Chain A
Amino acid sequence: MASIRKRSIQLSKLCSFACCRSDSLDDHAQIAQKGYSRVVYCNEPDSQEQIRLKYRGNYVSTTKYTAINFIPKSLFEQFRRVANIYFLVVACVSFSPLAPYSAPSIILPLVVVIGATMAKEGVEDWRRRLQDIEANNRKVKVYDRSSCSFKQNKWKDLRVGELVTVYKDEYFPADILLLSSNYEDGVCYVETMNLDGETNLKLKHALEVTSSLRDAGSFKDFRALIKCEDPNEHLYSFVGTLYYDCQQYSLSPQQILLRDSKLKNTDYIFGVVIFTGHDTKVMQNATDPPSKRTKIEKRMDRIIYVLFSTLISISFIGSFFFGIETKKDISGGNYRRWYLRPDKTTVFFDPKRPAVAAFFHCLTGLMLYGYLIPISLYISIEICKVLQSIFINQDQAMYDEETDRPAHARTSNLNEELGQVHTILSDKTGTLTCNSMEFEMPALGVTEVEIALARKRGEQLTEPTSIDGFESKKSVKGFNFRDERIMDGKWVNEEQKDDIQKFFRVLATCHTAVPEVMDSGEIIYEAESPDEAAFVIAAREFGFQFFARNQTSIKLHELDLESGITVDRVYNLLHVLEFSSARKRMSVIVRNPENQLLLLAKGADSVIFERLSKQGRAFEDKTKEHIERYSEAGLRTLAVAYRELDDDEYKTWEKEFLNAKTSVTADRDVLVDEWADRIERDLILLGATAVEDKLQKGVPACIDKLARAGIGIWVLTGDKRGTAINIGYACSLLRHGMKQIVITLELPEIEALVKHGDKEAIAKASLDCVKKQINEGKLQVGKESSIEFGLIIDGKSLTFAMDKTLVNDFMDLAMSCATVICCRSSPKQKAVITRLVKSVTGKTTLAIGDGANDVGMLQEADIGVGISGVEGMQAVMASDFAIAQFRFLERLLLVHGHWCYRRISMMICYFFYKNITFGFTLFWFEAYTSFSGQPAYNDWYMSSYNVFFTSLPVIALGVFDQDVSSRLCLKHPSLYQEGVQNLLFNWVLILGWMFNGLLSSIIIFFLTTNSIIGQAFRKDGQVTDYSILGVTMYTCVVWTVNCQMALSINYFTWIQHLFIWGSIALWYIFLVVYGSIPPTLSTTAYKVLVEACAPSILYWLTTLLVVISALLPLLSYRAFQIRFRPMEHDKIQIQRRRSESLERDVAQSRLSESSETRNSSELPEEVRIRINSLKGSSRRKNS
């Protein structure tokens, strides 16, 4: 027992992060200062001191509202919208005599609209609340000191300082200090998917002093004090000190288990609760993503301003005439309109003070014509967008069966923006490619790989998956190499078998993967990156099976060179010098069974080659050549090297390195890297590896389609130029016949300068060089306008191209190229480019990516699409839409984007149309009441207009309308240009709709009044009065706007029929019901339909005349426009019509002449009409 203890101490010392120095107080100098004041009394949650600190409990609430603040808070949210404030003010003023209608009639629709929005908020919040309840009531075992055992308790009752135990596959209930686990050395594995989306396992270590506390009994007398930082949102940092047994131990993130992460591969752990509830890191991290608004919404705001100004100006006109008329009522003691009693009047109608009366009238007018502003617009759009997103989520064609992931619209307010994407900025790895790496081939120093490579090159690059000529062996996922000379252990016969052995040993040991032995005996590797998994698998296939790891050792089944049998070898793992994007390499320091100290390294070729020793360069030229070839073939390459260390050197280095590691200063990482750098030198090159990043399914076709839709595609990748270009060809971004413009700084003259190292001179020369290349490119593009161009630029050049003086030229050039590939670009550059493209073009940009390095880009772009792929969920968390495969982007944009764009823009136009139609009939009528502010209709007709009689059809339009079916959307990508060029929501169209509304209102008002006013309007001699005119006009308005809707949509299911004709029917039903309640409530509507209108033939004849007349202008316009200047969707619709009728004819002719056989698949060809060449069609691949 003692020996085991001893050993674990020794091993823990070697572990990179297990720092247990007692003199580390100086590093933790901030403890107990501001920001570092938290004190936890371990195992004493009931102590006076702990209670006095009053830390929050573990109850968690993620809801936006509580039962108490829901009403005020959500109301406040509602009235942040200008239009809603306007309606609120109107509702308040409606209690004054200023109001042209009764107060309840204006308040009710406002209540309905606000209530619906609040209900939506409420439901969303309720869902969050249910989740909270579920989380709060989960069970965890908490140490009970009275009985010295662990007892079940609810998460929400957990307190700071309590001891808990968490079992395998359970979530941590709070932020916990790891004390011990079932492993001797106190390690445990956690999965942090819910925190950062990374699926790989992370290793946590307990402090060595606490790792022996491994049963309930040992906690009886456990007392400790933790002083640490205050709650904060940094997931990867923690500063704290543990006071235990009169000693101080510094704590690092390595000992902290965060709430919402999961215990894996470990049976149980014990820990102390440090942060609870909202103090936990994950809760501190919960912030809302930046909210994005669509271009259509922004334009809609401008339309609302236009309408507001219309509203104000017509109120003003009305007041002007009202003032004049009112002033005339008293002239020189004579009362003109004596029946209005101008002598005994209120201030609102006072002829002696016409200016004041006019001012008040203006306010009345603002309320009366408020119907120009559609009150239900916002809520209707919101409802539609939510339903649209449900359709996107439900779409089976965007459902990935393999990963069981449907498309997911994470925000619903960007739907229509999907239809307007001008430029796509795409990540490469994991987005265009699968990011499931296949080990293609090793370049083993001198071992000849030419044959394999030649075979590889001869193949279709677009179908790299089907390359295997050796089908006999079962293919292994992640491994795609066949060479009979070295496979199946035959490598032992090769000349350089020692080198080969070393090479694979590096692959099998230099990694951070964790093996997991399945029930079947098969070993599955959980690795941080798919590349790493591919290496380990490759090593296994060559006979170096990595099967177990713990904190201090790595175990391999290995083929013994001499005996030819498999033996177990244990490598003592001393240090892991981890991979980072800055270091571009990782290495491990191990002691092999022969007691040799080895540093095994793999990394980017450039980095490794720099660090080779003189003797280690034996294979350098050969390997360089191989790497060159591999990257030409689109493979990712890494160089592999090793070094033997002598003990003394290692020991001195280790001391310094541990110092660096355990320091808590801000530049710790720099220090660690520096020390790592000191040992990673004088390497001996072994060879290089090549893994293939397979293209995702359907990527070339999808990109081709998107290009034909006229969408510019930029690929931003960290890969080398050669690799990037190859992938470009593979996924048809670069096509044959396309001219490449390459901007690079890898030129001899620049490299010569770099060797001198004068930074200023380099910068200047680079800038000039890039400038020259850009100008040359522009010249080339200008000269040959018929050819498509592809621009390839590397990250270094890009930094210069983004210089203020060059950026415009560069963007000009980039915009005139069909494809832009930025290789070797950093995550930050990706975000900067995205912002640049967005601001320079002013058009919609869409960024698509899958990894954490794409988050900046996704948030910067107008739309961020995350691929829920292998690299975890971080990109998805930051995205607006999540899809499982790149190819679904085609459907997301061309089908859903187009539909949503069309729906929302038509919906908004129609909304304004219907409200202008209605609002202006009020205005015309008011003109005939000497602008006194009398509405033409009963109060309740008016308030029901937006809510009942016209709301549902427009929602049906916004949710269901399709100009062409999804199949045709995909077949005719040029249709997408309607959205990019914003043809359905330009000002001409918007103003056209408004003009149409004005025209409709004129037709309705004047035709109605002239038809029914004056003479008797039915056989019994009764004449039309105010109430009958109101009903007739209103009937015409309801019919007209609903029929106008029927004319504008192209897609009638039973839902549309129900909503449109139902709305009209509802009006009559409403009139009957409302007219049958006592006249003191129904006032002018009392029995107006039943008694007065319905029996009158004139009423029905007038309705018919007015409705048809009001529809004819738009119908005529549409008829002529479709026939003589059709838009893209019109053409496709007509074409569909023709092909349908043709098919019908053919079917008939088939029936009559059964002998004639025709291939129905030829039909579309026959009927294909010439598609108007929009921007994108010229890019069509001419294959």
Chain B
Amino acid sequence: MSETNSDRQRRGDRESAFYLFTQQRLPACKPVLTPPWVITIYFLVGFIFVPVGLFTLRASHSVVEIEERYDIECVPSQFRNDKVSYIQDDSVPKNCSLLFKVDKYMKAPIYIYYQLENYYQNHRRYVRSRSDQQLLHGRNFHGTSYCQPLESSNNRPIVPCGLIAWSLFNDTFTFIRGKALLKVNRTNIAWKSDRDHKFGKNVYPFNFQNGTWIGGGKLNPRIPLSNQEDLIVWMRISALPSFRKLYGRIEEDLDVGDYVVVQLMNDYNTYSFGGKKKLVLSTSNWLGGKNDFLGLAYVFVGSSSLTVAIVFMLLHLRSQR
């Protein structure tokens, strides 16, 4: 009797999941790349990717973008051969104007970007040269050795310290349509989390850009860092050496045929390292800005897999015969 019990138990064991597991016989899906599967997968990829690509391309095309390089034009002709001395010479006026012609209707909000090229914000020395603690807690926070060589000046700490803040972009732009000044909204251009949690509300610039070494822009010492959105945007470092950063928003539509005059102060030195400066006006849609690459890539990958599917099918059928 006990034997039959143990037999039954054993049979029960044999069906249990644990037994199947130890015997490596768990129910399993065993996919095999058989020709029908291969062809199906490739057709599927093709039939999804091509429409997605086309759709994305259309979205990209619907974005209106005006881009204008100004770092060359804004240098007076006598300085064209030595742009570095032009930019470093304080006595030379740096104002300059650009003319934008609107070819397509641009719906508000229109985003204003400045674009720098060949500027290594992602250089390791540069990236590290900041103190998140100081940005949040102010100058009472010590231990800003990462900020070297811009940790302190005249034995007093610099707030915000470090290379990134020091090299703050300081070109300024004003936009005029016809006779009227276009209103540019320069708030909310930084990420909210940065404003709220990375830059202190009670931290004010201190001892910033007043020594012998002047880098980029200056900061108003009466405005707390969390409201210095230009700084916040600048300190969110770029991924690659050419990048755009948000400058502001024009909150009026621009019509076809409008002319926009940009009055700018060309203060920022990109000449010594051969960088470019551009000003970009762009609308946006669900996809973001204008970039055909993604759409083209989708179409390319989709159509390639269709090709592979067809080639595979033909080869398969031929060798079957």
Contact = CB atoms under 8 A, between A and B. Distances in A.
Interface of A: 100, 334-341, 344-346, 348-349, 391, 394-397, 899, 928-930, 932-934, 960, 962, 965-966, 1007, 1009-1011, 1013-1030, 1050-1055, 1078-1080, 1083, 1086-1087, 1091-1092, 1096-1098, 1101-1102, 1105, 1108-1109, 1112, 1115-1116, 1118-1120, 1122-1124, 1133-1134, 1136-1137
B24 A934 contact: no
A1083 B132 contact: yes
A1010 B60 CA distance: 14
Contact of A1010 (B26, B149, B293): B293
A374 to B, nearest CB: 25
B163 A341 contact: yes
B122 to A, nearest CB: 4
B206 interface: no
Interface in B1-37: 22-35
A338 B127 contact: no
A1119 B149 contact: no
Interface of B: 22-35, 38, 41, 45, 49, 52, 56, 63, 65, 84, 109, 111, 113, 119-127, 132-133, 136, 148-150, 163, 166-167, 191-193, 197-198, 215-216, 236-246, 249, 269, 272-273, 282, 284-291, 293-294, 297-298, 301, 304-305, 308, 312, 315-316, 319
A1020 B113 CA distance: 13
B120 A929 contact: yes
Residue in B284, B288, B290, B293 with the greatest tally of chain A CB atoms within 10 Å = B288
Contacts of A395: 23
7 contacts: A337-B272, A348-B125, A930-B241, A932-B122, A965-B25, A1022-B246, A1115-B41
A395 B286 CA distance: 57
A1115 B312 CA distance: 12
A1009 B319 contact: no
A1007 B316 CA distance: 31
A1119 B32 contact: no
Nearest to B300: A1109
Contact of A1023 (B27, B246, B287, B305): B246
A1022 B28 contact: no
Contact of B136 (A349, A1018, A1080): A1080
Given A1011-B293, A1051-B30, A932 B124 contact: yes
A463 B181 CA distance: 108
Contacts of B34: 1122, 1134, 1137
A1021 B120 contact: no
Contacts of A334: 84, 272
Interface of chain B, main secondary structure: mixed
A1018 B28 contact: no
Contact of A1015 (B31, B136, B282): B282
A899 B65 CA distance: 58
A1025 B235 CA distance: 10
Contacts of A1014: 242-244, 289, 291
Given A962-B24, A1026-B237, A1098-B288, A341 B30 contact: no
Given A930-B120, A1092-B191, 4 more contacts: A1021-B249, A1079-B136, A1105-B297, A1137-B34
A1095 to B, nearest CB: 11
A929 B26 contact: no
Contacts of B297: 1007, 1010-1011, 1105, 1109
Contacts of A391: 22, 24
Nearest to A336: B273
B197 A960 contact: no
B33 A1024 contact: no
Contact of B167 (A339, A1007, A1083, A1112): A339
A341 B150 CA distance: 9
Contacts of B124: 100, 929, 932-934
4 closest A-B pairs (Cβ-Cβ)?
A: A1015-B289, A1016-B289, A1029-B239, A339-B167
Given A334-B272, A1013-B243, A1080-B133, A339 B111 contact: no
A1027 B238 CA distance: 8
A930 B242 CA distance: 12
Contacts of A932: 120, 122-125
Contact of B240 (A928, A1052, A1091): A928
A1053 B27 contact: yes
Nearest to A393: B22
A1050 B35 contact: no
Contacts of B288: 1015-1019, 1096-1098
B132 A1079 contact: yes
Contacts of A899: 24
Contacts of A1007: 297
Given A934-B124, A1016-B111, A1022-B246, A1105 B289 contact: no
B168 to A, nearest CB: 10
A929 B242 CA distance: 11
Contacts of A1025: 236-239, 243
A1136 B28 CA distance: 14
A929 B38 contact: no
A549 B237 CA distance: 95
Contact of B294 (A349, A960, A1102): A1102
Contacts of B319: 1123-1124
